[in-house]
Structures are given as C-alpha cells and as structure tokens.
Structure 1
Amino acid sequence: MKRKTQWLLAFGTMIVLGTVGTSTAYAAGDPMETVNNFSNFIFGLIRAVGMIILGFGIVQIGLSLKSHDPSQRANGFLTLAGGVIITFTKEILALIAG
C-alpha cells in the first residue's frame, strides 16, 4: 500500500507541475519572426552553457593556483577560453557572416 501511495503522490506532483509550469506560445504572423524567435531561444541556451563552462574554467584556474598544478592550470585556461567562445557564439557568427 505504501508503494502505491508514493506512486500516486509522484504522479499527482507531475500533473500539478505540468499544468502550473506551462507557458503560452504566441504565434507570430510572419514565419521569419518565428524562426528568429527560435534562433534567439537556442542562442540563449548556448550562452547559458557557455557561462557555466566559463565559471568552471575560472574555478579550475583558482584551484590550480592553490595546488600549484601546471597541468590543471593549462586545462583551466583552455576551459576558460572555450567558455568565452561558446558564450559569444552568436556575436562571433554575426561578425563572420557580416
């Protein structure tokens, strides 16, 4: 009986979160506006991942300075550079495309 109660509670929680956490999708009249909105959303997600990687690179550099580990320091700087590139992907592509 306890397992069934836990399952029902989990199912009820999922139903509540599914109905409360929905967002309204506004349709645009112009198809290009829809594509641009989707593109902005994807680039926002990429920017968030880049910021996480950037933060991880900063933490790695800090830990390497504390432990005097040159290989970890090199990995930290590479991670930091990768995070910067991923964070500014949209701007880099805009500069390349013109």
Structure 2
Amino acid sequence: MKFFKKNEKKETVKLPMGRKSKRAMAVYAALVLCLTCFTTTALAANDPITVVNNLSDFIFRLIRAVGMILLGFGIVQIGLSLKSHDPSQRANGFLTLAGDVVITFAKEILTLITG
C-alpha cells in the first residue's frame, strides 16, 4: 500500500514572454511609478501629527505603486496562461491577481477595518 508516489519527475515550463511584452511591462511599471510616487508633495508643518500623516500617505502611495505594478504582472500572467492552456499557471495567475488587489487597496482596507 503506497501513500506517496516517489521519484515522480515533474517539469516546469516557463511561459514565453517576448521582447515586446517585456518592454510593455517595463513601460507600464515606469508609468505607474511616475504617476503615483513622483507626484507626491511633502508638506512640512509644525504639528508632529501632520508630519506623521504625510509620511503615512507617502508610504501608502509607494505601496499602491508596487501593487499596481504587480497587478499588471498578474494580468500578463493570466493572459499567458490562457494562451498556453495551462490550468496550474492560470490558478497561480488568479492568486497573484487577488493578492495584488489586496496590496493595491491596503490603505482603504485598513481604514475600513479600523473605522
């Protein structure tokens, strides 16, 4: 009676990502970073709470930028898995997409939880 299969070799195959896809992903990442991080204004104030709130807003904008980049990668991953008809890669793509949505909207989720 065997419970575990031994010496079962499974090969993993990388999905092809061409030069155009890599370039489009790099342009998308740069655009998201420019739109979210570089437009942040840092306002100095005498009140320490205001300084902490400004820093918190900056950090959450940075997290949102990373989440948007990963969200684009998740969409690309799902598209490539649909092209290659790979169900395990498709499941990984949807899990990546769900996690990236949580990362992107982290601030809103935290304010919803804390009230």
- TM-score interval, normalised by the smaller of the two chains: 0.7 to 0.9
Q: 1:25 to 1:70 in 2, by over 3 A?
A: closer
Indicate the residue corresponding to 1:29 in structure 2: 46
Which one of 60, 84, 90 corresponds to residue 77 of structure 2?
60
> Cα distance, 1:29 vs. partner?
1.1
Partners of 2:81 and 2:89 within 8 A in 1 = yes
- Of all paired residues, the percent bearing the same amino acid is 81
Find the residue that maps to 1:36 and give its secondary structure: helix
Find the residue that maps to 1:83 and give its secondary structure: helix
1:42 aligns with 2:59: yes
How many residue pairs are counted as aligned between the two chains?
A: 75
1:96 aligns with 2:85: no
Q: Which structure has the greater CA radius of gyration?
A: 1
CA RMSD of aligned residues (A): 1.4
For the residues of structure 1 that align with 2:110 and 2:42, how far apart are their CA atoms? 27
Q: 1:31 to 1:71 in 2, by over 3 A?
A: same
* Higher helix proportion (structure 1 or 2): 1
1:75 aligns with 2:92: yes
Gap regions ≥5 residues in structure 2: 1-40
Gap regions ≥5 residues in structure 1: 1-23
The alignment's TM-score, normalised by the length of structure 2, stands at: 0.62
